[in-house]
Amino acid sequence: MRVLVTGHRGYIGSPLVDRLKAAGHEVVGVDTELYEDCTFGVNKDSGIPTIDRDIRELSPSDLEGIDAVAHLAGICNDPLGDLLPETTYDINQAATVRLAKISKASGVRRFVFSSSCSVYGAAGQEWIDEQSEPNPITPYGLSKWKAEIELSQLADGWFSPVFLRSATAYGFSPRIRFDLVLNNLTAHAFTSGKVLLKSDGTAWRPIVHIEDIGRAFVAAIEAPAETVHNEIFNVGITTENYRIREIAHIVEETVPGSRVEFAAGAGPDKRTYRVDCSKISRLLPKFRPQWTARRGARDLYSKYSEYGLRLEDFEGARYQRLAYLQSLMARGAIDGNLRWILPAANLEAAGTAQHVKGVC
């Protein structure tokens, strides 16, 4: 198949491209390199055709000859959504639905949407599955849920939307994110010796490695239409649900000399959910997840050691999505809609990335 991957140079997109190519698919990327200056380690060229355009500006001609879309691009977490709620809805909901409509009009058969278990929000202690009522409590979670609702209305005998509600991601990528719980706690432990919890650690989270998220996308793209048509799948492993404090102790056991500590004022986190992921394993046998939290923590520790992660890098704006975008806005490089306003000639002087024009 010819697959369009939006956000193909991002945290999840980078390893997904490699997995799709290894599976024999032809890949086209869409990415405006908003986070080009946020590369950690080695960022190799994906070697695929790329459309350098904001997802809000894609046209039907960009979708010609595409069989499936893997839609990853968007505002990626709760803090960013809280900072820019209207822009979050504009990108995660409106732009997603617009892309799906032009994809359908251009003959695309399958649209695999990167949703999130954040749609479950404040679910409490009970197990939840795809039939459970969503309860998003942040603009990010709500934007994903609203997009799902509108996308599902586009489904017909030709066009199949598929919804992958991924658990909280972790794992190493050239576009590493340190705002994700396992990545964050391991980085704190490695650079400071402290496994620093900013909540009381009682909230539940399902977690999943980004390579396993990639496996889910490939499985959803390759599955028979009748299996995935307009279906929701929780992406993860049911046994990989943890209280945050349990993840902290896994990190403590992994990083030599580290210890669990609580930040001042650490209190309960309203976002808590325990997610059953049995449906994806049952209906998509090609989805064979390989990672656990313990293996992931060991791999992160190894990568941080290999590339020499420093405390000043980890705590600085470069690898924190929220802080990085705030720094660009403070310098006048982007506006509140996350569109670039500096001409290309001035980007280097402003200390920003080159060749970027929007968000993905």
Average model confidence (pLDDT) across the chain: 91
pLDDT at 315: 83
- Mean local confidence (pLDDT), 64-93: 92
33 Cβ contact list (under 8 Å, min separation 6): 9, 52, 353, 354, 355, 356
Which residue has tokens 């879309």?
69
Asked if residue 227 is part of any domain, the answer here is: yes
- 161: in domain: yes
Total domain count for the chain?
1
In a domain, 303, yes or no: no
Is residue 160 domain-resident? yes
Backbone angles phi, psi at 267, to 5 degrees: -135, -170
The predicted structure's pLDDT at residue 355 = 31
Per mean pLDDT, which range of 36-45, 206-215, 249-258 is the poorest?
Answer: 36-45
Which domain range does residue 135 map to?
2-175+208-239+274-290
**Exposure string for 338-351, b = 16+ CB within 10 A, e = fewer:** bebebeeeebeeee
Residue 314 belongs to a domain:
no
Strands (E), the chain: 2-6, 26-30, 50-51, 68-71, 110-116, 122-128, 160-166, 168-170, 194-199, 204-209, 232-235, 241-243, 259-267, 272-275
Residue 327 lies in a domain: no
The more confidently predicted of residues 61 and 35 is 61
pLDDT exceeds 50 at position 259: yes
**pLDDT band per the 50, 70, 90 thresholds, residue 36:** confident
**pLDDT tens-digit readout, 306-359:** 999 999 888 888 888 888 888 888 888 888 888 888 644 344 444 443 332 333
The lowest-confidence range among 151-155, 181-185, 314-318, 334-338 is 314-318
In the chain, % of residues over pLDDT 70: 94
* pLDDT level of residue 40 (50, 70, 90 thresholds): confident
The answer to whether position 104 is within a domain reads yes
* 348 domain-assigned: no
Give me the CATH number covering residue 68.
Answer: 3.40.50.720
Percent pLDDT > 90 in the chain is 71
Q: Look up tokens 């039939």; give the residue.
A: 131
Would you state the pLDDT for residue 341?
Answer: 82
Write out 105-161 in H/E/C secondary structure: HCCCCEEEEEEEHHHHCEEEEEEECCCCCCCCCCHHHHHHHHHHHHHHCCCCCCCEE
Kindly tell me if the per-residue pLDDT of 2 is higher than 50.
yes
Distance CA 20, CA 3 (A): 8
Q: What is the pLDDT of residue 342?
A: 62
